[in-house]
A and B are shown apart, each in its own frame.
Chain A
Amino acid sequence: MDGFAKSIGGGGPNVPAGSHPAGGSQAAAGGGATQRTQYPYVTGTSVIALKYKDGVIMACDTGASYGSTLRYKSVERIKAVGKHSIIGASGEYSDFQEILRYLDELTLSDHMWDDGNSLGPKEIHNYLTRVMYNRRNKFDPLWNSLVIGGVKKGPKGDEKYLGMVNMIGTHFEENHVATGFGNHLAIPILRAEWHEDMTFEEAVKLVEKCLLVLLYRDRSSINKFQIAKITTEGSTIYPPYSLKTYWGFTHFENPAQGAVGSW
C-alpha cells in the first residue's frame, strides 16, 4: 500500500475525478455519512530494521517519489525520538512529519514531568499504535508504515525493542521488520540469515544485502542509503552513502547471441 502511489503519464499522482482537495471534506449537514479518504502524494519506499547485539539497526533509502517521478533525493526517513528510540517511516512523507510533531509534543510533556523517567521504544510504539488506529477508524488515516526501534534499561537489563505499526493500526514486535516492498524482497533474506547477537559489522552486511536487492528490484528506490543505529549510548544516524551494483553478467551483454535477429 505505501509507496504504491498511482500515476499517470506526466508524473504527478493520479487524483480521481470528483475527489476533494488534499486533506478531506467536511461533514455533511444533517447527519450524512462523512467520507474522508486520502491518497498518498509524496511517498517513501521500504524501511528495514533488525535487532543486533548492542541494539537495533535501521536502514532505508533517501528518496521520496511524487507518483512515478523521483521528486526528492535527500529525504531523511529515519529520525531519533527521545533518548531511547529511532523511528523510520515509509509512505506519505507529510504524514510522517505530522507524526514527528506529535512525538515532539509527547516527549516534551514527558520531559516536563521531570521525574527521572523517559519514554522508551515500547511506549512510543504503543502511543503510535493508538494514534494510527484511531485515525483509521475516522476514515482519515496517516498513510504510513512506521518502524520503531530502541534500547531501554528494564528489569532484566538492557532490553532491545523493535516493532512496526502500519496505516490501519496493525502492530507487532519482531526481531526483524520491513515495510513496503521490503516485505517481499528483504524479509525472506532476513528470515534465513538473521540470528541472535549479531555484531554491528554482521548486521550492516546483512542490511546492505537487503538494500541491494531492493535497489535492483524496487522501482522507487534510489542508490543513496542511510543507516541508523540505537544502543544504550544513544542514537546515531550515519551520513548517506551508495552501494556498488553489478551489471557485468555475460547474458546481459548480448541477450540475442544465441539467435541473431530474434526478439
Chain B
Amino acid sequence: MTGSMDLPAKGGFDFDLCRRNNMLEKNGLKLPGFLKTGTTIVGLVFQDGVVLGADTRATEGPIVADKNCEKIHFMAPNIYCCGAGTAADTEAVTDMVSSQLQLHRYATGRESRVITALTLLKSHLFRYQGHVSAALVLGGVDCTGPHLHTVYPHGSTDTLPFATMGSGSLAAMSVFESRFKEGLTREEGIELVSDAIRAGIFNDLGSGSNVDVCVITKGKTEYLRNHQLPNPRTYASSKGFSFTKGQTEVLSTKIIPLKQKVEVAEGGDAMEE
C-alpha cells in the first residue's frame, strides 16, 4: 500500500473503488449484472397534498426478477420518494438520505422539509456524475406546503405539479397531460395516478404487476401498498395445494445419526474469551 492514506474526502469525486473494480475485472472476475427497475413512477399535487404512484415490477434484462417490489421509499414521516433506475442505487441513496434527515430532525427538533431531502439527494448524485443511476420522484408535505420534485441521475431537479419517470414515463405522461387539472380532490388524484400507472403497466414492457399509491397530506400519510392488482393469475386453484403424506413416492431412505460424530469433552477448560 502506498502512503496515500490521507485525509478523508471533503467533497469532490471519490472513485477509489472503481480502480479496485477495474483491477478485479482485469484479473478475470465477472461482475454481476445489475438489477434495473424498468419502471413507471408518477406523482401529482392535489388540493390537500401530493399523491405518489409506482408499479411493482423489477427487471434484470428481459426477466422479471421481482413481481412485487416496493418502489415507494420512506424518507421521512411526511416525505416519500419513488425510485427508477438501478434498484440498488435507488434503495441506497434513499436510505442514506432518510438517515441524514432523521439525524437532522433530532438536531433541529423540527419536521423535515422536502427541499432538504431534495438538496441532499441532488448534491450526492451530482458528486457521482450520473454513475449512481437513480431517477427519483420526491414528494411530501411540510410546513411550507405540498411539494413535488423530480431528481435525475446527474443531479438536476425539477419542481412540477405532476411528474413521471422511468421507462413507462411517456405512457403515464400522456394520461397526465390530457387529464390533469389543479385542485383535484383526493379520490380524483388517486384515480388519475392509478390510471397513469396502469397506462405504464399495460403499454410498457419494463413495467408491470401491481399499482402502489402513497397519499401525503398535512399531518397524515397513507401508504396504499398494492392499491390495485390489475394482473391476477389467470388460472389458480381456489383450494390451493395440498401435500398429503404418501402423495410423493419414497424411492429410498438413508438415516445418518449425527450423535456419534459429535465429541463432547467432559470437564475441559473454560472457553477462551
> Do B115 and A184 touch across chains, with their CB atoms under 8 A apart?
no
CB neighbours (8 Å) of A189 from chain B are 174-175, 178
CB neighbours (8 Å) of B170 from chain A are 181, 184-185, 188, 217
> Does B147 sit within 8 A of A, measured CB to CB?
yes
> Do B203 and A213 touch across chains, with their CB atoms under 8 A apart?
no
CB neighbours (8 Å) of A192 from chain B are 175, 195, 199
> Do A258 and B174 touch across chains, with their CB atoms under 8 A apart?
no
> Do A250 and B115 touch across chains, with their CB atoms under 8 A apart?
no
> Do A188 and B203 touch across chains, with their CB atoms under 8 A apart?
yes
> Do B182 and A249 touch across chains, with their CB atoms under 8 A apart?
yes
**A149-198 at interface with B (beta carbon < 8 Å):** 181, 184-189, 191-192
**B34-84 at interface with A (beta carbon < 8 Å):** 45
> Do A188 and B171 touch across chains, with their CB atoms under 8 A apart?
yes
Closest to A192 in B: B199
**B226-248 at interface with A (beta carbon < 8 Å):** none
Interface range on chain B: under 10, 10 to 19, 20 to 34, or 35 or more? Answer: 20 to 34
Docked pose: A217 CA to B174 CA in angstroms: 9
Interface string of B133-145 (1 = CB under 8 A from A): 0000000000011
B115 to chain A, nearest CB (A): 4
> Do A258 and B145 touch across chains, with their CB atoms under 8 A apart?
yes
Given contacts A186-B174, A212-B177, contact A251 B159 (CB under 8 A): yes
**A224-263 at interface with B (beta carbon < 8 Å):** 249-252, 255-256, 258-259, 262-263
**B121-135 at interface with A (beta carbon < 8 Å):** none
> Does A209 sit within 8 A of B, measured CB to CB?
yes
List 26 A–B pairs whose Cβ atoms lie within 8 Å, in order of A's numbering: A184-B174, A185-B171, A185-B173, A185-B174, A186-B174, A188-B171, A188-B175, A191-B202, A191-B203, A209-B178, A210-B174, A212-B177, A212-B178, A213-B178, A217-B170, A217-B173, A249-B182, A250-B161, A250-B182, A251-B45, A251-B148, A251-B161, A252-B161, A258-B115, A259-B115, A263-B157
Q: 7 additional contacts, CB 8 Å, given A212-B178, A249-B182?
A: A185-B170, A188-B170, A251-B148, A258-B115, A259-B115, A262-B115, A263-B157
